[in-house]
Chains A and B, each alone.
Chain A
Amino acid sequence: MNNGWNDFEIGAMLRSFDGAVNGIATTLQEDRPYSKSNSFTASVADWRIEKPIFNKDYCIDCQFCWIYCPDISIISRDKKMVGVDYDHCKGCGICAEVCPTNPKSLLMFAEQEDEDKALAGWPEKEKKEN
């Protein structure tokens, strides 16, 4: 940890990793040796007042949410939707907005909402009018 002005590297610059890394683009986030100063290790969960909850029963793994999420907070592995990274999700709601299933597989709830309760009360499929 830096203590005084003379301990810093110049330029208000942060290193993502301690030392050199190779092939990082093909390494999954959870397997990367991030440094303490990388934002991956910092939680911004308290920025959020609403959170997305994921219901895998209706998900078709279209990856729309993964593509549109501005904070890389949709966890998808081998093109299968896994869930939401609640340490970095800021609750913008874009994932729920772009979800194409009926009913949606991602919906926004109050931050304190219980996940099991939300899933139990998930809305029914909407009938098309006409």
Chain B
Amino acid sequence: MADKMELRDVEVWDGNMAASQAMRQVQIDVVAAYPITPSTPIVENYGNYLANGYVDGEFVMVESEHAAMSGCIGASAAGGRVATATSSQGFALMVETLYQASGMRLPIVLNVVNRALAAPLNVNGDHSDMYLGRDSGWIQLDAYNPQQAYDLNFIAFRVAEDHEVRLPCMVHQDGFLTSHTAQGVKTLDDDTAYNFVGEFKPMNDMLDLDHPVTHGVQTEEDWHFEHKARQHNDLMTKVFPKIEAAFDAFEKLTGRRYNIVETYNTEGADAVVVCMGTSVETAIEVAKELRADGKKVGVIGIRVIRPWPHAQIAEALKGIKAIGALDRSSPNGTFGMLYNELAGTVVNSGESKVLTNYVYGLGGRDLTKVHLREIYAELLANAEAGKPTTPLQQLIGVRGPKISFH
């Protein structure tokens, strides 16, 4: 039996410590991991808990991230609670197995500490790896600070392992900006945290010897499409009600409220930025200051990236005239993901909105309050004009002549 750890009501934790503590508290059966900056401390801390008797499960050090996720898949199919963590290049190496995990409907939790993708090599935070995972069939939750990295881990286990869901779930946080920035984190005691997620209930597990099953089968043109359709259907219809219920239960337990789409000052706003990660907190600060000056601006933070909250975003954008989609990943030849997905969401809204795209913060470049004030000024001009007054896509915070497209 694992020892319990005494925690203060508020601990000074960075995002990595917060995620690793949540992993300890839910008592995972198997963690198979390969360390990579900036997520290394998650598995390092976890190994520490195990060595000191705070964890009963197995910790498998493997030779690569591909092997880490493969080990997680095997352990999850065998019938255990399973999680790991990674970033960037490691995440990229995992991609092949991410699709296996979701297709096999294995409720693995993956902490992704967002980091840029090489080349050029870069260890700092942007959203390139997070974007790379968006078609992999996983649920993707996004934390904006260490407290949320802690809280969303509990949500992730609870939703992923629900027998009506049985889909793997990523919990994202920004590399360094969240993962290595210590803040006060309100904690749950070990029993309360464990009970929120509950005992792991296996489903079709290989260790059920009275009901032998074959996992990871092959289907060709005959049945492949049906399996993928089932998985897509369950992502589209089963996940949001479970997330909503988990958010409600979590609020009841802790008083902390989460929403599928987070809105700040969007009531009566003319212009909003839509963004993810730590940028949401910076944008809120700027929006508050601008509101004090009488400017009608707000912020929309995407909490659940996959499944894409089409209806919730459409609702949040009602009456808003100008939208800035802030993408922290190089689109490499098109608009940013948020721009494209928001365009898909608003095009049938029946309202005329001006949508523009800002690419920012690549490789850990700062998004400053000055940048955001400039963006809001442009968006308010768009709202006033009822049409774009700037190029549709601009790169901001980059050295050299102004760079924009369309």
Residues on A lying within 8 angstroms of B by beta carbon are 2, 4-6, 8-17, 19-22, 24, 38-39
B227 adjacent to chain A (CB < 8 Å)? yes
- Asked if A10 contacts B213 (CB within 8 A), the reply is no
Write out the residue numbers on chain A whose beta carbons fall within 8 Å of the beta carbon of B229: 5
- Asked if B226 contacts A11 (CB within 8 A), the reply is no
Write out the residue numbers on chain B whose beta carbons fall within 8 Å of the beta carbon of A21: 210-212
- Asked if B230 contacts A10 (CB within 8 A), the reply is yes
Known: A13-B217, A17-B212. A8 touches B227 (CB 8 A): yes
**B side interface size, CB within 8 A:** 25
B213 contacts which of A5, A6, A13 (Cβ < 8 Å)?
A13
- Asked if B216 contacts A12 (CB within 8 A), the reply is yes
- Asked if B211 contacts A11 (CB within 8 A), the reply is no
Distance A116 CA – B362 CA, assembled complex (angstroms):
74
- Asked if B166 contacts A14 (CB within 8 A), the reply is no
- Asked if A5 contacts B227 (CB within 8 A), the reply is yes
- Asked if B210 contacts A12 (CB within 8 A), the reply is no
- Asked if A10 contacts B234 (CB within 8 A), the reply is yes
Write out the residue numbers on chain A whose beta carbons fall within 8 Å of the beta carbon of B213: 13-16
Having A16-B212, A21-B212, one finds 4 other A-B pairs with CB under 8 Å, namely A5-B230, A12-B216, A21-B210, A24-B209
Write out the residue numbers on chain B whose beta carbons fall within 8 Å of the beta carbon of A22: 210
CB distance from A21 to the nearest CB of B (A): 6
Write out the residue numbers on chain B whose beta carbons fall within 8 Å of the beta carbon of A24: 209, 212
Write out the residue numbers on chain A whose beta carbons fall within 8 Å of the beta carbon of B364: none
Nearest B residue to A38, CB-CB = B214
- Asked if B230 contacts A6 (CB within 8 A), the reply is yes
- Asked if A14 contacts B233 (CB within 8 A), the reply is no
Encode B208-245 as 1/0 by CB contact (under 8 A) with A: 01111111110100010111011101100000000000
